[in-house]
Structure formats: structure tokens, C-alpha cells
Structure 1
Amino acid sequence: MNGSNKLAPPNSTVQSFLQKLAETPGRRGRLVFALDATASREPTWNEARRIQAEMFDTAAAVGGLEIQLCYYRGTAEFRASPWLTRAADLRRCMAEVTCLGGFTQIGRVLEHTLWEARQSRVDALVLVGDCMEENVEALCQRAGELGLLGVRAFLFQEGQDPVAERAFTQLAKLTRGAHCRFAHDSARQLADLLNAVAAYAAGGLPALERFGRRRGGLVLQLTDQMNRRP
């Protein structure tokens, strides 16, 4: 992704769909949104941050979600925001994040999400990253625990690193979630994937399926993977 790749205005059909979700009686969805902020993400970080903030602006505006922003960077830094319900607060939190060289800390993301899910319901975990440098077996154990708690993990991989792809696919399967790769230069692909998870968190699998039929493309990969889970 580069600075010249501008995200199109939110589709009116998407806005209408999310508005209907908000008007449906029921609880808010709760979503942990985790980002890899190590140095390898720096070339695409500014564009990705803008896409993610705009997507959650739309979701927060219709009142369907509570979002917690998490990120890791450096050798041992991991941070998590409070639960946020206002788009302005989420945008402020994201604007403060810059990239710093280091290693992946996906294990800490999973541990944190487990802790949150044991305190109160969490509908989904989203992780956006491009590599994986940890013990996969240990991560799979944590992912299995998340699956038992009903937390589905959506792992969105930037690029084509084969190690990350194998690990992300396993983690998704263990939580009955989904894994998708998106291109470095595709703002639209990432925006569609994030909007899809917002729909799932707010309205469950039926809402995700409806969204997938509207958007097509990579979003259909999410619904296909989740429908194949036992």
C-alpha cells in the first residue's frame, strides 16, 4: 500500500446494512482488534491505519460495536486500549501508534484476548500482520482455548510469507475463524475484510453471510472457511 492509494467513500449499501444491524434489538458486538506495529509494517502503516480508522468510524457510528485496540512493537512492548465505543477515541488511539523494530508477539495478543474473554464476552479477535516468529505449538494451545470460549479469530495477512500463512491458518481453524491474505497495495481488500468482521461481531454469522453476498471477493473466503468448520 502507498499513500497514493485512496480509499473510496463508504458504500451506501454497506452503510445501510450496518444501520439495520444497529437498529436490531440486542447486545453490542465486542471485538479485539490487534495490529503488528513492528518495523516490517512501516511502509504500509500510515495507509493501513487510515483504512482501519475509517472502517471503525462507520461501525461505531451505527452503535453496533465495542472495540479494543491492541498492538505490539519493539522487543517487549504490548499495549491495549480500554473498550471504545466512539470512533473519535479509536482514531485518537491509532494516531498515536508508530512502528518500531522488533519481533512478533502474537502469543501476548492471544493471552490478552483470553483474559478479556474470561472477564466478559468477546465475539471476535482480528489480527493484522505480515509475519510470525514464535512457537506455533504454544500459539495453537492458546487459540484452542479461545475457541472453547467462543472467540473466533480472523487473521489477515499482508503479503505472502509462507511461515505466517501456515501459522495463521492453524490459529484460524482452532477458533473456527478464518485466515485471508491481502495484497500490499490493496486498500480496498483490507477495508472489505475489516468491514466483514464488524458485521460478524455485530450480527453473527448470518450478518457476515449477508455482507459477503453484497461485497463478494475476499469476504466470501471468510464465510466459506467458517461454514466448513465442524
Structure 2
Amino acid sequence: MTEKAGKSLRQGSRNTEVDAFLKKVAAMPRIKPGGRYGRLIFAMDATASREPTWDRACHLQAQMFQETAALGGLEIQLCYYRGFKEFFASPWVRHSDALLKQMTAVSCLGGYTQIERVLQHARDEARKQKVNALVFVGDCMEENVDRLCHIAGELGVLGIPVFVFQEGHDPVAEQAFRQIAQLTQGAYCRFNAASAAQLRDLLSAVAVYATGGRHALENFSQRQGGVTLQLIHQVKKD
């Protein structure tokens, strides 16, 4: 296979994943008018392998807040795991500065993945109050996939889509991440340094849509352009 042909196939694969992701975003439940906040759990793997890209993740989450600030309706809870069985969940916050301060104080530590605890936490939070979506960013999976899928199924019943963003190309992680996304009617997408801008826009689109519905998404997409424009034709009118 020529280098040009290989590049074309890889690009086609990425486009297919993005298209699938956008379709899932379009199917997310919308927040109805009336002053309610969209609630988004932003969970991250903070083990040692992710240290090189932690700063980029800090910037990406700030973008989500910036794009929804005018809507006045987004609450985010930061979750991460690292080291030896260390798991953290922040209070719900409505300002990027508060969340950014928490994230920049974190240093990545070596340890096994704790994705099960992330899913369990999202389930428990949803039983207290509505959670509109869970975003998870990670690069590997070192757990019992059957247990993860069982809890993912519970999240699906509760109506919590999980949007999984995988850094790198770990095939074991990819298989598990895709199943989690499917069971929750969420979406899976891979990213790397070259696609950081696209990931930023897609994360922002999820936040905007969860907060303000189609009208807010349309305004965002017309302003942002790029891949987000594909959403407009897939989301039903309010």
C-alpha cells in the first residue's frame, strides 16, 4: 500500500468516527427552558501516561465553559483517578476559573486505571440529580471489561450518554471504550495532538447542546464553523 493510499484510509476512518460521534451528539436529551443548568461530568485519566497532555486537557475544558457562558446554564464536575486507588470528584462548578484551578493543581501519578469508579460515580450522581452527559478522556484500560459494560448498561437505563475520547491507539482500550459508548447511547472518538482543535470544538458542541438545545448549537456552529457545522443538519428543530 502506498503512503498516499494509507493516509487516505486513515483520514476516512477518522471522518467515519467523527460522523458517528456527531450523530450521537444530535441524539442527546436537551435541557428545557426554565433556568435549569445542563450538568456535565468531565472525567479524566490522570495516571503517568497522560502527563504530557494534561495541560492541553486543561485548556479544552476552559473552552467548554467559554462557549456556554452566554447561555448561563452549564455545571461541570471534574473527576479523575491516579496513583494507588486515588479518585477525586470536585464539587459542581459553574465557572471555568474554579475548575481550571483544580485541574492545574493536579500532578499525574502512575497507577492502574479506575474507569469502573468513574462510571459508578456518574451513576450515583444521577440518582441524586439529573446528569446530562459524562465525558471521559483516557488512553488505556486495565480492568474487567464485563464489569465496566454492566455499569455502562445501568447508565444507559438512566439516560446518561458517555462520550469517550481516547488518546492514542491502544486496541484493548478502544474495544472497551466503544462498548461503553454504545451501551449508553453515547459516542467514541480517538484523538491525538493533530486533532486537538477538532476535539476542542466537539467538546464545546456537546456542552452547548446540553445547555441550550438546538438554537444555541446553531449559533455556536455558525460562529465556529468547521466540523461543528455538520451538527445543524442532524439535530431536529425544537
Q: How many Å separate the matches in 1 of 2:134 and 2:218?
A: 18
Cα deviation, residue 219, structure 1: 8.5
SS at match of 1:43: helix
2:119 partner amino acid: L
Letter in 2 for 1:184: A
Alpha-carbon offset, residue 90 of structure 1: 1.1
Q: Of 54, 63, 77, which residue of structure 2 is paired with 1:45? A: 54
User: Do structure 1's residue 177 and structure 2's residue 186 form an aligned pair?
Assistant: yes
Task: From 80, 90, 106, give the equivalent of 1:71.
Answer: 80
The alpha carbon displacement at 1:207 in A equals 6.1
Amino acid at match of 2:107: T
Residue 157 (structure 2) pairs with residue 148 (structure 1): yes
How many angstroms apart in 1 are the aligned matches of 2:124 and 2:141?
A: 22
Instruction: Write the deviation string for residues 187-209 of structure 1: whole angstroms up to 9, x where unpaired.
Output: 20221121122023214578668
Q: What amino acid sits opposite 1:86 in the alignment?
A: H
Amino acid at match of 2:50: R
Q: CA distance change for structure 1 residues 58 and 209 in 2, over 3 Å: closer, same or farther?
A: closer
- Report the Cα distance in structure 1 between the residues aligned to 2:158 and 2:116, rounded to whole angstroms: 17
Task: Give 1:34's aligned residue.
Answer: 43
Aligned residues: 204
Q: Structure with the greater relative contact order (CA < 8 A, sep ≥ 6): 1 or 2?
A: 2
In structure 2, C-alpha distance between the alignment counterparts of 1:204 and 1:144, rounded to whole Å: 25
* Structure 2 unmatched runs, 5+: 1-29
In the superposition, relative to structure 1, how do residues 215 and 165 fare at CA in structure 2: closer, same or farther (>3 Å)? farther
Distance 1:209 1:49 in 2: 25
DSSP 3-state at the match of 1:34? strand
1:217 paired residue among 206, 223, 227: 227
CA distance in 2, matches of 1:219, 1:174: 27
Residues 1:109 and 1:62: Cα distance change in structure 2 (over 3 Å): same
Amino acid at match of 2:227: G
Q: Give the residue type in structure 1 aligned to 2:135.
A: V
What TM-score results when the alignment is normalised by the length of structure 2?
A: 0.76
Q: 3-state DSSP class of the match of 2:165?
A: strand
Paired amino acid for 2:210: A
Aligned to 1:109: 118
1:5 aligned partner: none
Note if contact 1:32-1:126 (Cα within 8 Å) is conserved in structure 2. yes
Judged with a 3 Å threshold, the aligned counterparts in structure 2 of structure 1 residues 135 and 91 are, in CA distance, closer, same or farther, namely same
Aligned equivalents of 1:152, 1:205: Cα separation in 2: 17
Q: 1:219 to 1:75 in 2, by over 3 A?
A: farther
Name the structure 1 match of 2:24: none
Please give the TM-score of this superposition, normalised by the length of structure 1: 0.78
Match of 2:93 in 1: 84
Distance in 2 of aligned mates of 1:107 and 1:205: 32
Question: Greater Rg, structure 1 or structure 2?
Answer: 2
Let me know the Cα RMSD of the aligned residues.
Answer: 2.8
Alignment gaps of 5+ in structure 1: 1-20
Q: Percent identity?
A: 59
Matched residues in 2 for 1:132 and 1:220: separation? 31
Indicate the residue corresponding to 2:25 in structure 1: none
Residue 198 of structure 1 corresponds to which residue in structure 2? 207
Is the contact made by 1:183 and 1:189 (CA closer than 8 Å) also made in structure 2? no
Partners of 1:54 and 1:210 in 2: CA distance: 16
Report the alpha carbon displacement of residue 58 of structure 1 after superposing the two structures with TM: 3.3
Output the amino acid matched with 2:95: R
